[in-house]
Amino acid sequence: MDVTNGIEQIDAINGSIHHHQVISSMYRDSRTAPLRKMSVDLIKTYKHINEVYYHRKRTRSEKKAKEKAAAAMANEVLKVRQNAQNDNSQFNSGYDDENHDYIVTQGELWLDRYQIDSVIGKGSFGQVVKAYDTLELEHVAIKIIKNKKPFFNQAQIEVSLLELMNRQEIDSKNYIVRLKGHFQYRNHLCLVFELLSYNLYDLLRNTNFRGVSLNLTRKFAQQLCMALRFLSLPGLNIIHCDLKPENILLCNPKRSSIKIVDFGSSCKIGNRIYQYIQSRFYRSPEVLLGLAYDMAIDMWSLGCILVEMHVGEPLFAGSNEYDQMMKIVEVLGIPPKEMLDMAPKTSKFFEKTITGDYVPKISSDKHLPPGTRLLKRVLGVETGGPEGRRRGENGHTVRDYLKFQDLVSRMLDYDPKTRITPLYALQHTFFKQPQNDVAASGDPSSFSSNSNSIAAVENNVLPINSLASNMFQQQQQLQYHQQQLQQQQIQQLQLQQLQQHQNSHITSSAAVNHICN
């Protein structure tokens, strides 16, 4: 009986709810009534209709424009690939152009993971694209190697060196770009890197090639010395072989942190592949002269880069190899006699006088006499910086410039055996500027006004003392002895190569004389 009464009560409640719903639907809010909308609120109604109409129209137009652009791009790529196939050419079934570069299409999805955005760089090796990693949910840079065997082989060496560096990492502060992975796609080897910002050449261009402040130059110098020190660790012994502003990238446009990229020409000590290395403006004397080389060539390049970053233009801007050597001679004088006596290519640049000294092979008004273009004048040590542009600025005193000049001079030592190493460069007084001086030496005027990020770079001071970490300090003594041993081994190898070269030269000369007679 109680159950029956309960059911009847529930039915009564449901009936009451239904009754209220019917009443509510009969008496709606007057603000939403059609009569009000078509009378008192007529203008609002028309305005709302217009907004909805034009929003839908604009959305449809944008969608059609995107679809049309995508279709046009796809058709263009298809035409190129069809033409390649119709021409019976060897362009990778139409996926490559005549230079063996992959024809990049925006929006492509590779390996169901990487969505291609755009090309952000090109070089002799191939091209670099910006892409989105849908697995890791981050943007990356993909280096697409040309579809040619020599480039493929060299890229494999680059991969092995980068993977070796990844395994050797002590911490994240080694200032070397990180390889995230690699794969093959349509016959192209592809290297996946973290996505960085613009390079130091772009930064110089932002200053209208007037250079950055000594404070910012110091920050770059310190990080690059740390990077070269990392490469010189016993487990690595890697020579970059192409250090230049274009291969040094900012991690973030609003920070001064940098990383070295492009190890496509790099090698390990003892596994040198090419004699013709380094971009000309940053090429070391031993490479120009055809001598054996080691990690010291990167320190030479660094010295050139630091001057360029502050002055705004290359220190040694040669138009060819001979001109390059003469540009060096203008500043540093004639290379040491012992070095020229050993070098296979000395006769390309110099000739020996009766007294046994060397002079430039070609006398020309184009070049200044040896050693007359002084580094202190290039830097403006006593005249307020390059062309006096830094006169009166904090952090640009004569003392600051003398420290900078001394460090650069040690980096540009003709003799690679006595050229300063990264370890000792980091201990140079140029990096021991008082903290209050560092904080006061921000210089937003050295950059173009169209970028807040670059002004931020000037004002972002790196903790100079913290860079020389305790871990590295503990390794200093050990690494010093290891480097000394390496230098001795390199000297022995150089002497052996020289003796072999001289013996072969004597033998070939005797054979020629015998034939002629």
- Residues annotated as binding site for ATP? 143
Contact 135, 113 (CB under 8 A): yes
- Within a 10 A sphere around the Cβ of 299, how many other Cβ atoms? 25
Contact 278, 321 (CB under 8 A): no
Q: Judge whether 242 counts as a catalytic residue.
A: yes
C-alpha 166/C-alpha 170 separation (Å) is 9
C-alpha 147/C-alpha 168 separation (Å) is 30
C-alpha 130/C-alpha 123 separation (Å) is 15
- Which amino acid is present at 466? S
C-alpha 373/C-alpha 468 separation (Å) is 34
Helix (H, G, I), strand (E, B) or coil at 132: strand
Measuring CA to CA, which residue among 376, 387, 380, 398 is closest to residue 210? 387
C-alpha 90/C-alpha 96 separation (Å) is 9
Measuring CA to CA, which residue among 282, 307, 298 is closest to residue 380? 307
Measuring CA to CA, which residue among 466, 461, 468, 465 is closest to residue 216? 461
- Which amino acid is present at 146? K
Measuring CA to CA, which residue among 430, 489, 484, 469 is closest to residue 230? 469
Contact 443, 215 (CB under 8 A): yes
Q: Over 161-180, what HEC string results?
A: HHHHHHHHCCCCCCCECCEE
C-alpha 445/C-alpha 368 separation (Å) is 33
- Within a 10 A sphere around the Cβ of 462, how many other Cβ atoms? 18
Measuring CA to CA, which residue among 283, 218, 274 is closest to residue 244? 283
Q: Give the pairing of strands 238-239 and 267-268.
A: antiparallel
Burial class (CB in 10 A: 0-12, 13-18, 19+), 493: middle
- Which amino acid is present at 284? S
Which residues are known binding-site members? Answer: 143
Please, what's the b/e burial string for 315-337 (b: 16 or more CB within 10 A of its CB; e: otherwise)? bbebeebbbbbbbbbbbbebbee
Catalytic residue among 96, 101, 242, 294: 242
Residues with catalytic roles: 242
